[in-house]
Amino acid sequence: MSPRGRTEQATAEAWPPQFTGTMLPAMQQLSALARSPKSPGRLVPFRFRAIGGKVLLTSYFGDWLFVTEEEFAALYRGELPAGLEPRLAERRFLRDRVHAGDLRARLLERQRFLDWGPLLHIFVVTLRCNETCVYCHASRAEMDRVDTDMSRETAERSVDLALSSTSPRITIEFQGGEPLANFPIVEHVVKYGIERNRAFGKELEFTMVTNLSLMTEEKLEFLIQNKVQICTSIDGPENLHNKQRVLVGDNSYRVAARWIERINQRYVELGLDPVLYHVEALLTTTRPALDLPREIVDTYVGLGCRSIFLRPLDPFGFMDRTHDKVEYERARYMRFYSQALDYILELNRQGVQVMERYASIFLTKILTGTDPNFLDIRSPGGAGIGQLTYNYDGGIYTSDEGRMLREQGDETFRIGDVATSRYRELMLHDTVRAMLVASLLDVQPDCVACTYAPYCGAKPEHSYKTLGSLQGRMRESHICAVHKGIQDDLFRRLAEADEATLDIFRRWTTVRERAHFLQTAAMGS
């Protein structure tokens, strides 16, 4: 992986190898052209990184531009090549050609989520689950452990707190365990939430993450009629999925596939656009999956999925026990990711509409200048200020990962209890403040000089679990390796892209509202 670019200082070891021949004599006095005495004030502050024989420049406001190594060498010397100046101006890299008010407006737009408050509210309605996953992040409980079921009182108080959020839009997401194992509480939360929202008038949405194995026609009809969006997990082809997600006495893949088909059929029967309305599925990439990039993509396409999220493993839950069987070097994951993305783009050129979610998130920031508000990849991060998790016992956590650590005996990320806590107290909790600072890339030593800081994000819970502190050391972080590797891959493709590939990438940044799932209640109605 190429060393990280810096605008103010560098060492011979940190400099990209291809630059050392022309840059070494002045290595110790590196400065951006913005501070060069030969051309004072011409460039906005920028960061840089070597990508595929070129040099990528990114501004603090998210603008980017590729220059040749020769052009970069000229910039370093304090020179501004005539042919480069128009390109720098077009991409807003010339200080005297941009308006400070415009830059401020763009920055405010990128971080408009800071005005909202927690949008995502995760309800862990039970830890019980009838499937055994080799990497289970949720620390599942056996099906007879009804003591891990959320009560009606806890559920109602959780809904009240969620609706107290300053966000005008609220998503309540049912998780577990397997939420269908405590379906009466799911039903109650939906009915109670819709009724209580009459007093709040928010845009309310319900989603469920389920393995589908406990689904019935009666449950499905309730979910369909009450506009609950359904998401499941598919870990690849049937053999791989069944090995990783064991359903005793049955075939977990075939059960999930059957219900995916049935749910998608119901959406069609309702007259909904199948491009927008279909079961979403999530992949957890384990070591055996790394050899199957094309087969995994084909599996998703065959199930009617329009997107695939090539997520690497997380270190939570049962991963402490199965690490040696399923973990891998992140360099291997990046080879898998690049091969899968190659194939996804190939399918798109053939007319098959399927996208990769990581690419969609990063490309939206890179190509449109807006932030899609994916809570795990933003600065500051979404823990506490963008999401809250309500555990089955009433404990409130900054995120689902924080709740997962609780199941391993660590209460660091607990910030309250539904029986006693008020919304304002949760938002002002010392842990929430610490999470905000720890996920603000502009103050993190390894992130502040990173070329990808305008598009990236950090997860303090992951740093805490793997590196021992909320801030961690990003140069040692698996998440940093993945995020940086994916952005390297995407920018390499952007530097080489033909118009057809750019059209595909632009399509992946298009957001179409799934209005059917929104439940809008007028105040006092």
Q: Is 152 helix (H, G, I), strand (E, B) or coil?
A: helix
pLDDT of residue 82: 86
State whether 167 and 118 are in the same domain: yes
Confidence (pLDDT) at 322:
66
Give the total number of structural domains in the chain.
2
Pairing verdict, β 169-175 and 120-124: parallel
Element containing residue 207 per DSSP (H, E) = strand 203-209
Please report, for the domain that includes residue 243, its CATH number: 3.20.20.70
Q: Which pLDDT score is estimated for 504?
A: 97
Write the CA distances from 390 to 176, 395, 469, 510, integer angstroms: 11, 6, 24, 32
Same domain? 119 vs 179: yes
- Do 251 and 400 share a structural domain? yes
Looking at residue 214, what DSSP letter applies?
T
Residue 92's region, left for phi above 0, alpha for psi from -120 to 50, else beta, is left
- Nearest Cα residue to 408 out of 461, 344, 331, 357: 461
> Same structural domain for residues 26 and 171?
no
Same domain, 30 and 142: no
Between helix 499-508 and helix 357-368 the angle, nearest 10°, is 100
**H helices within 350-439, ranges in order?**
357-368, 400-406, 423-427, 430-438
- Domain final position from 79, 110, 141: 110
* Contact present, 179 and 125 (Cβ < 8 Å): yes
- Encoded tokens for 22: 């022309």
User: Which contiguous run of DSSP H or E holds residue 242?
Assistant: helix 238-244
Domain final residue, candidates 110, 130, 163: 110
Calculate ∠ Cα 137-139-140, nearest 5°: 115
The whole-angstrom separation of Cα 81 and Cα 403 is 54
Location of structure tokens 């890339």: 441
Phi and psi of 222, rounded to 5°?
-60, -45
Strand duo 280-284 + 395-397: pairing: unpaired
CA torsion, points 390, 393, 397, 403, in degrees to nearest 10?
A: -100
Q: Is the same domain home to 105 and 198?
A: no
CA-to-CA dists, residue 409 to 164, 361, 456, angstroms: 29, 33, 30
- Both 191 and 289 in one domain: the answer is yes
Angle at 227 between CA 302 and CA 188, to 5 degrees: 125
CA nearest neighbour of 253 among 286, 288, 291, 281: 281
The rounded Cα 223 to chain-centroid distance in angstroms is: 26
For residue 88, give its domain range. Answer: 17-110
- Which residues are CB-neighbours of 334 under 8 A, at least 6 positions away? 481, 482, 485, 486, 489
Q: Please list the pLDDT of the chain residue by residue as tens digits (525 residues).
A: 332 332 322 332 333 433 433 333 332 333 344 444 444 358 999 999 999 899 999 999 999 999 999 999 999 888 888 899 999 999 999 998 898 899 899 989 889 999 999 999 999 999 999 988 888 766 788 999 999 999 999 999 999 999 999 999 999 999 999 999 999 999 999 999 999 999 999 999 999 999 999 999 999 999 999 999 999 999 999 999 999 999 999 999 999 999 999 999 999 999 999 989 999 899 999 999 999 999 999 999 999 999 999 999 888 766 566 667 778 898 999 999 999 999 999 999 999 999 999 999 999 999 999 999 999 999 999 999 999 999 999 999 999 999 999 988 999 999 999 999 999 999 999 999 999 999 999 999 899 999 999 999 999 999 999 999 999 999 999 999 999 999 999 999 999 999 999 999 999 998 778 899 998 755 444
Judge if 100 and 141 occupy the same domain. no
Report pLDDT for 317: 64
Element (H, E) at 321: helix 319-326
Q: Quick one: 244 and 355 in the same domain?
A: yes
Q: Does residue 487 belong to any structural domain of this protein?
A: no
Q: Compute the distance between CA of residue 413 and CA of residue 8 in angstroms, rounded to an integer.
A: 36
Predicted model pTM: 0.90
150 and 298 in a single domain? The answer is: yes
DSSP E strands in 278-343: the ranges are 280-284, 307-308, 310-311
Residue after which a domain boundary falls, among 66, 94, 110: 110
Q: Do 53 and 149 lie in a common domain?
A: no
Q: Taking the CB of residue 33, how many other CB atoms lie within 10 A of it?
A: 27
Residue 281 and residue 169 share a domain? yes
